[in-house]
A and B are shown apart, each in its own frame.
Chain A
Amino acid sequence: MIKNLKKVLPVLVLVGMVAAWFQASESTRRYLKHIGKQVPYLPYRYFI
């Protein structure tokens, strides 16, 4: 049961994220895109 749940969980999370994206307003999508572009720099920014 737990083994199956482990397999299904990532798929459920992905489906949830896709559903949330399509339900989000244009403004929220712009915000998420903006933050998404900044995230890769955070490990560098933390040390500067």
Chain B
Amino acid sequence: MSDYDVIVVGAGLGGLTTAALAAKSGMKTLVLEQSDIIGGCCSTFEVDGYKFDVGASIVEVIQPLERLFEMLGGKISDYLELIPCDPIYSFITDDGQRFSIPTDIDETTELVKRIAPEDVEGWHRFCDKGLSMIEEMMDAVMLSPMNTFSEAMQLGMKNPQILKFAPTFARTHQGVIRSFYKNPVMLQSAAFQSYFAGAPPELGSGVFGYIALSEHLGIYYPRGGMIGIPNGIAKAGMDYGLEIKVNQKVEKLLMENGTAFGVKLENGSEITAKLVVSNLNAQVTYLKLVGPHNLPGWAVKAIASYSNSMPCPMIYVGLDKKPDLEAHHTIVTSSLESMNDVWNNFYKMGIIPETAMSLVCWPTEADPSLAPEGRHILNFLCNAPAPYAPKGDNWDRLKGWYKDAAIKELETYVLPDARDHIEYIQVSTPLDFERRLLHPEGGIYGLFSDMTTLAMFRPRSRSKAVKNLYLTGSSTHLGGGVPTTVASGIVTAKYILKDFG
């Protein structure tokens, strides 16, 4: 007799989603989280009265969240408040232009007419193709199991309208946006999102080329910080008896004859279950929790063949003054070519770039309660991407230098006298992310995403190598991001309910 029906290792969005749905179906479910807070990358911590988001800074494409709360018998607003953020971004380009992109598509058309009249026709085509793709693929692809060719074919036969979008997956991000735009600023405005999937525009899958459009469906910030989302899912799950324990680090899976039947914690205790769900990175799951000795040779070769997505050092800043910004997100960009260049000639060479792009998030614009009265928060990525192992050095030694570089970036673009107004500053390096979130090499988007690591070529939600082991989160189908990891949790729950429900 097992202690639980389901044990979920890791309280990230994917793990919590699967756990809540399992609990709703009547399965006795336990989530074990190694950290003292839930949410993984989508979480919030408090220091000196400031509430900083660990990684994720907004949620866009909220349909998977809506679907999840429907499946849990409620709606989003029963569990969390999402504040709409408009404009989507404020841009500062390499040639000094500043403009904001509004959510409304007609208002954006007016902006395109002003900054890139030659691309108005391309913008209309981008909208027409992208919106129909998003609408037709949302439920069909995002929320459907796609571990095998057979499942993909069934999906295509049930939804023949999506087949026309298949070539988009085989194209590159830059190939897609170049088919719509010629203007360098328009290209910049749609190119940097490839890094949201952890790849440069020349390598990322073409499907991510439409992220820039999906943002026009609305971007939102949860009141109280990004942790509002995992807290909402956890609360909904707990209504059905879900148990969540923090500060519980799992050391390994309990295995017998290639079948998982529980977990062993770092403190030596063992908990058994009918099945185990891992929300950890798939390489950590297979190579550490399961162990190569419990895997067939092909599985070790397969899991070791993936590379991790890029790490991103984050800087958390508490200010005693309102920053000179116009939107929740400000992007300091450079040309499409330099976004590729920074990957090939800096990141891959182990060199921290001096220019590329910085993403400045100003959460107190949406929710002033995140900081003491009159104070503000900035969470930002500076000159991303940055290598996990800088040549001849390491991040623990570079922390101070990087902090100074970040302050200079702030002084250049956001607050000229930033140094005099910083009340709190903390740098979270790739090493910190690795230690805090157990993401190998600090890769915050799970495994690297390109056309050879998507859908049935990404680690399966239902493991074939270990019986009764399921995976969820950014390493599985659809990759990193708030909506995609929630969707992965729904897909994993569907497999579990099919097998055990």
A-side contacts of B464, CB under 8 Å: 47-48
- Determine the residue in chain B with the shortest Cβ distance to A37: B452
Q: Report the stretch among B19-27, B300-308, B490-498 that lies at the interface.
A: B300-308
Chain B positions 279-316 with a Cβ under 8 Å from a chain A Cβ: 282, 286, 298-299, 301-303, 305-306
One digit per residue, 1 when the CB lies within 8 angstroms of any chain A CB and 0 when it does not, for chain B 342-370 equals 00100000000000000000000000000
Given A41-B305, A45-B305, A47-B298, verify A30-B452 contact (CB < 8 Å): no
Docked Cα-Cα span, A46 to B298, in Å, equals 11
Q: Is the CB of B172 within 8 A of A39?
A: no
Given A48-B299, A48-B465, verify A31-B452 contact (CB < 8 Å): no
Chain A positions 12-48 with a Cβ under 8 Å from a chain B Cβ: 27-28, 30-31, 34-35, 38-39, 41-42, 44-48
Q: Is the CB of B202 within 8 A of A45?
A: no
Closest Cβ of chain A: how far from B304's Cβ, in Å?
Answer: 9
Docked Cα-Cα span, A31 to B200, in Å, equals 10
- Which one of A27, A42, A47, A48 contacts B452 once the chains associate, using CB atoms below 8 Å? A42
A-side contacts of B463, CB under 8 Å: 48
Does residue B165 face the partner (Cβ distance < 8 Å to A)?
Answer: no
A-side contacts of B302, CB under 8 Å: 41, 44-45, 47-48
Q: Is the CB of B303 within 8 A of A34?
A: no
Q: Is the CB of A45 within 8 A of B457?
A: yes
- Which one of B282, B301, B306, B340 contacts A27 once the chains associate, using CB atoms below 8 Å? B340
- Which one of B305, B450, B459 contacts A35 once the chains associate, using CB atoms below 8 Å? B450
Size category of the A interface is 10 to 19
Closest Cβ of chain B: how far from A42's Cβ, in Å?
Answer: 6
A-B pairs under 8 A by CB, number: 55
Given A38-B452, A42-B457, verify A48-B202 contact (CB < 8 Å): no
Does residue B238 face the partner (Cβ distance < 8 Å to A)?
Answer: no
Q: Is the CB of B303 within 8 A of A30?
A: no
A-side contacts of B458, CB under 8 Å: 45
Q: Is the CB of B450 within 8 A of A48?
A: no
Docked Cα-Cα span, A43 to B323, in Å, equals 51
Q: Is the CB of A45 within 8 A of B452?
A: yes
Q: Is the CB of A35 within 8 A of B298?
A: no
Docked Cα-Cα span, A28 to B174, in Å, equals 10
- Determine the residue in chain A with the shortest Cβ distance to B455: A46
B-side contacts of A39, CB under 8 Å: 452
Closest Cβ of chain B: how far from A2's Cβ, in Å?
Answer: 32
- Which one of B202, B306, B457 contacts A31 once the chains associate, using CB atoms below 8 Å? B202
- Determine the residue in chain B with the shortest Cβ distance to A48: B302
Docked Cα-Cα span, A46 to B203, in Å, equals 20
Closest Cβ of chain B: how far from A11's Cβ, in Å?
Answer: 27
Docked Cα-Cα span, A44 to B456, in Å, equals 11
Chain B positions 438-468 with a Cβ under 8 Å from a chain A Cβ: 450-453, 456-460, 463-465
Docked Cα-Cα span, A41 to B299, in Å, equals 11
Docked Cα-Cα span, A48 to B465, in Å, equals 7
Closest Cβ of chain A: how far from B26's Cβ, in Å?
Answer: 30
- Determine the residue in chain A with the shortest Cβ distance to B471: A48
Given A27-B202, A31-B172, verify A38-B459 contact (CB < 8 Å): no
B-side contacts of A47, CB under 8 Å: 298-299, 302, 464-465
Closest Cβ of chain A: how far from B472's Cβ, in Å?
Answer: 15
- Determine the residue in chain A with the shortest Cβ distance to B458: A45
Docked Cα-Cα span, A47 to B282, in Å, equals 13
B-side contacts of A28, CB under 8 Å: 202
Q: Is the CB of B203 within 8 A of A48?
A: no
Closest Cβ of chain A: how far from B116's Cβ, in Å?
Answer: 22
- Determine the residue in chain B with the shortest Cβ distance to A34: B203
Closest Cβ of chain B: how far from A17's Cβ, in Å?
Answer: 17
B-side contacts of A38, CB under 8 Å: 305, 450, 452-453
Closest Cβ of chain A: how far from B412's Cβ, in Å?
Answer: 29
Docked Cα-Cα span, A28 to B340, in Å, equals 11
Closest Cβ of chain B: how far from A39's Cβ, in Å?
Answer: 7
Q: Is the CB of B450 within 8 A of A44?
A: no
One digit per residue, 1 when the CB lies within 8 angstroms of any chain A CB and 0 when it does not, for chain B 324-342 equals 0000000000000000100
A-side contacts of B172, CB under 8 Å: 31
B residues with CB within 8 A of A: 172, 174, 202-203, 282, 286, 298-299, 301-303, 305-306, 340, 344, 450-453, 456-460, 463-465
**Can you show 23 pairs from A to B with CB atoms below 8 A apart?**
A28-B202, A34-B203, A35-B452, A38-B305, A38-B450, A41-B301, A41-B305, A41-B452, A42-B452, A42-B457, A44-B298, A44-B299, A44-B301, A44-B302, A45-B302, A45-B305, A45-B306, A47-B298, A47-B302, A47-B464, A48-B299, A48-B460, A48-B465
Closest 9 CB pairs of A and B: A44-B302, A48-B302, A38-B452, A41-B305, A45-B457, A27-B202, A44-B301, A45-B302, A48-B459
Can you add 17 more A-B contacts, CB < 8 Å, to A35-B452, A38-B450? A27-B202, A30-B344, A31-B202, A35-B450, A35-B451, A39-B452, A41-B305, A42-B457, A44-B302, A45-B453, A46-B457, A47-B298, A47-B465, A48-B282, A48-B299, A48-B303, A48-B465
